[in-house]
């Protein structure tokens, strides 16, 4: 399966940061994977213009479940599609924790993403405590079952497995731990989507760097990465992308 490497800039980036996208274009012209950059809302419009005629596409980090209405401060999937975004990250643990987003909200947002024509990158992952209790697969399974909407297909859905304890910490699960969870996700996707579940890309996220990317991409059922901090610097992100063969 062709790999997908997505960069989540989180709440980072000013207009001047567009230079990183320009640099990334120059460094990834011969990449053999799909590449998505998800800057903050404020930069999406400009970023879409920048990546025209390149192999980069632009995504967003969230969307509202409704198409329009009295939702101060929110942005709909249709608005994102309207300015050229192609993907949207949903259910990131930073939103599940600090914005109280539960699986039902994530599912409603995924429905909205599909309605708006966006590809939803749905994030799942256990906390340290849940892993220590031996509940990682149970927790991820529950999130997956409840967050993935009817109508999901390999064309409009990507799953990102992000153990909460590995995000921004420099800690990475063992190869066995990653393979075990990704295999469980694959099985659940097959049960849910039939043979098409085999074609849904499952990304790993959490402290991915150019120095560990090759090993992670070599694991079974790892179809790419969702990269946070290391996506902010074009040269480092390009190093990850070049490992995704």
Ligand X SMILES: O=C[C@H](O)COP(=O)(O)O
Residues that bind ligand X (CB under 6 A): 8, 92, 162, 167-168, 205-208, 226-230
User: Is 182 considered catalytic here?
Assistant: no
Nearer to ligand X, 196 or 214 (CB): 214
Residue among 20, 94, 162, 236 flagged as catalytic: 162
DSSP secondary structure, 100-130, as one string: ---HHHHHHHHHHHHHTTPEEEEEE---HHH
Residue 228 is assigned to a ligand binding site: yes
Phi-psi category of residue 40: left, alpha or beta, with phi > 0 → left and psi -120 to 50 → alpha: beta
Least distance (Å) between residue 206 CB and ligand X:
5
Residue 10 is assigned to a ligand binding site: yes
Nearer to ligand X, 188 or 240 (CB): 240
Least distance (Å) between residue 154 CB and ligand X:
21
Residue 54 is assigned to a ligand binding site: no
Residue 229 is assigned to a ligand binding site: yes
User: Is 224 in contact with 243 (CB distance < 8 Å)?
Assistant: no
Burial class (CB in 10 A: 0-12, 13-18, 19+), 74: middle
Residue nearest to ligand X as judged by C-beta position:
228
Alpha helices in 74-207 (DSSP H): 77-82, 93-98, 103-115, 128-132, 136-147, 175-193
Least distance (Å) between residue 235 CB and ligand X:
16
User: Is 114 considered catalytic here?
Assistant: no
Nearer to ligand X, 192 or 209 (CB): 209
| Residue 195 CA from chain centroid, whole number | 22
Least distance (Å) between residue 114 CB and ligand X:
21
Sign of CA dihedral 34, 38, 44, 47: negative
Residue 206 is assigned to a ligand binding site: no
Q: Which residues are annotated as a binding site for substrate?
A: 8-10, 168, 207, 228-229
- Among all residues, which ones are annotated catalytic? 92, 162
């Amino acid at each position: 399966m062709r790999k997908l490497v997505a960069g989540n800039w989180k709440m980072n980036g000013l207009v001047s940061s567009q230079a990183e996208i320009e640099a990334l274009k120059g460094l990834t012209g011969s990449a053999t994977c799909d590449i998505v950059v998800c800057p903050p809302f404020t930069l999406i419009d400009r970023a879409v213009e920048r990546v025209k005629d390149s192999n980069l596409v632009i995504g967003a980090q969230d969307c509202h479940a409704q198409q329009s209405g009295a939702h101060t401060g929110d942005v709909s999937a249709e608005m994102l599609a309207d300015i050229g975004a192609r993907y949207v990250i949903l259910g990131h643990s930073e939103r599940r924790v600090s914005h109280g987003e539960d699986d039902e909200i994530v599912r409603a947002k995924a429905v909205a993403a599909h309605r708006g024509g966006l590809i939803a990158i749905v994030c799942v992952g256990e906390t340290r405590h849940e892993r220590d209790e031996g509940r990682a697969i149970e927790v991820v399974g529950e999130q997956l079952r409840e967050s993935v909407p009817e109508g999901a297909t390999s064309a409009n859905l990507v799953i990102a497995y992000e153990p909460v304890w590995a995000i921004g910490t420099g800690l990475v699960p063992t190869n066995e731990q990653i393979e075990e969870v990704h295999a469980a996700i694959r099985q659940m996707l097959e049960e849910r989507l039939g043979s098409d579940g085999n074609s849904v890309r499952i990304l790993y996220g959490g402290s991915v760097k150019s120095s560990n990317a090759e090993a992670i991409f070599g694991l079974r059922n790892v179809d790419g990465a969702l990269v946070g901090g290391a996506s902010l610097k074009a040269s480092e992100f390009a190093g990850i992308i070049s490992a995704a063969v």
